[in-house]
Amino acid sequence: MSSGPHGRTASGCGTRFVFPNSRSSACRCRTWRPVINSLGRRIADSGTIAADDRIEGVCPCTFAIRPVHDSWRATSLFAVSDSIYGYLRPTYQQIIWPDRRGGLPWEPGFEAKFEGLQPLLWLPRDDHPPGAWTRIDDPPA
The domains of the chain are located at 2-127
What pTM was estimated for this model as a whole? 0.73
Taking the C-alpha atoms of residue 15 and residue 10, their distance in angstroms, rounded to an integer, is: 9
> φ, ψ for residue 93 (rounded to 5)?
-125, 145
| 23: nearest Cα among 137, 133, 140, 130 | 133
Cα dihedral 7, 10, 16, 22, rounded to 10, equals 170
pLDDT in tens, 4-16: 333 333 443 332 3
Output the pLDDT for position 31: 63
Local mean pLDDT, 10-residue blocks, the chain (141 residues)? 38 34 49 78 83 85 90 88 80 88 93 91 95 90 73
- Give the amino acid at 33: R
| 57: nearest Cα among 33, 38, 30 | 38
Which residues, 6+ apart, have CB-to-CB distance to 11 below 8 Å? Answer: 2, 22, 23, 77, 78, 80, 81
